Copies of this chain bind each other. A is one copy, B any other.
């Protein structure tokens, strides 16, 4: 039985191997990925991103536990290198990770593919598809920060949760643009610290400045993950968003962008060995012209 068949029978070892293969290079794994794609689309993919120190990893652990009490299977893809799911620090965390790790209804996978062929977004997308086809009901993608990679990954998720903490001050301003774009649900974690009201006011002020195309106003949920407070409210907020029924529209819009991106990656992959610096020196010194150089490159893929 090959990996695909084994994965379909619920073999999580086979599933893990498929993810490793996709992680090593989406290009090489694309036969398998193409084969499973039609079995995907059943799972809910939830992206969770937050600044370092926001307690996001504890929050994710609590969410996994809460989803498991419903009996649903959960996959976690951890991209944050400081996440305990990625083998990072778990100091002070009261959750017994082993409970999650030993639960066959939970599959945890860390990705260390920054700079990998096809990019982090491509490898994460592939891992999410594999978990989806493997019968997981909810897939959580955990990232840190709100940089370009996170925007890319939010594009893959059906819903994106952004975790903030009180007392961030000007940081909210600094990450404003990125956050406004990707958050479907805001979480103010560590809400027992001073200042959750101020942070909530700041988020609302940002929200008042622009309206989303889909009309959704991302709810703001206060949580104390270490005390298991507010976890159900996050799930309820995400469910409200997912149940609005425009998931298909979002998927089409996302795929329209993703396909361009994948095409670009595949094309540039063909030029991975081009020495742009040497070519730039030829052009700058007028030994060659840019048009002739580009023509030469294009000819490499035209035959």
Q: Are B298 and A266 in contact (CB under 8 A)?
A: yes
- Chain B residues near A6 (CB-CB < 8 A): none
Q: Are A284 and B37 in contact (CB under 8 A)?
A: no
Q: Is the interface of A mostly helix, strand, loop or mixed?
A: helix
**Chain A interfacial positions (CB closer than 8 Å to B):** 30-31, 33-34, 37-38, 40-41, 248, 251-256, 258-260, 262-264, 266-268, 271, 276-277, 279-281, 283-286, 289-295, 297-298, 301-303
Q: A276-B260, A289-B38 are in contact. Are A284 and B255 (CB under 8 A)?
A: yes
Can you identify 7 A-B contacts, CB atoms within 8 angstroms? A252-B280, A255-B290, A256-B279, A258-B280, A259-B279, A266-B294, A301-B302
**With A and B bound together, what is the CA distance between A107 and B201 in angstroms?**
55
Closest-by-CB residue of B relative to A35 is B289
Q: Are A283 and B259 in contact (CB under 8 A)?
A: yes
- Chain B residues near A37 (CB-CB < 8 A): 283, 286, 289-291
- Chain B residues near A302 (CB-CB < 8 A): 301-302
Of B34, B281, B286, the residue contacting A38 (CB under 8 A) is: B286
- Chain B residues near A286 (CB-CB < 8 A): 37-38, 40-41
Q: A41-B286, A284-B252 are in contact. Are A263 and B30 (CB under 8 A)?
A: no
- Chain B residues near A33 (CB-CB < 8 A): 289, 291
Q: Are B262 and A34 in contact (CB under 8 A)?
A: no
**With A and B bound together, what is the CA distance between A295 and B26 in angstroms?**
13
Of B262, B268, B279, B289, the residue contacting A290 (CB under 8 A) is: B262
Q: Are B259 and A280 in contact (CB under 8 A)?
A: yes
Nearest CB of chain B from residue A157's CB, rounded to whole Å: 14
**With A and B bound together, what is the CA distance between A277 and B259 in angstroms?**
9
Of B41, B260, B293, the residue contacting A259 (CB under 8 A) is: B293
- Chain B residues near A284 (CB-CB < 8 A): 248, 251-252, 255
Closest-by-CB residue of B relative to A298 is B266
**With A and B bound together, what is the CA distance between A290 and B266 in angstroms?**
12
- Chain B residues near A276 (CB-CB < 8 A): 256, 259-260
Q: Are A267 and B34 in contact (CB under 8 A)?
A: no
- Closest 10 pairs (CB-CB, A-B): A37-B289, A255-B280, A256-B280, A251-B284, A30-B291, A34-B291, A34-B289, A252-B284, A255-B283, A252-B280
- Chain B residues near A294 (CB-CB < 8 A): 259, 262-263, 266
Nearest CB of chain B from residue A229's CB, rounded to whole Å: 37
Of B31, B268, B277, the residue contacting A252 (CB under 8 A) is: B277
Q: A34-B291, A267-B298 are in contact. List 11 more A-B contacts (CB 8 A).
A: A31-B291, A33-B289, A34-B292, A41-B286, A248-B284, A252-B277, A255-B279, A255-B283, A255-B284, A256-B279, A259-B280
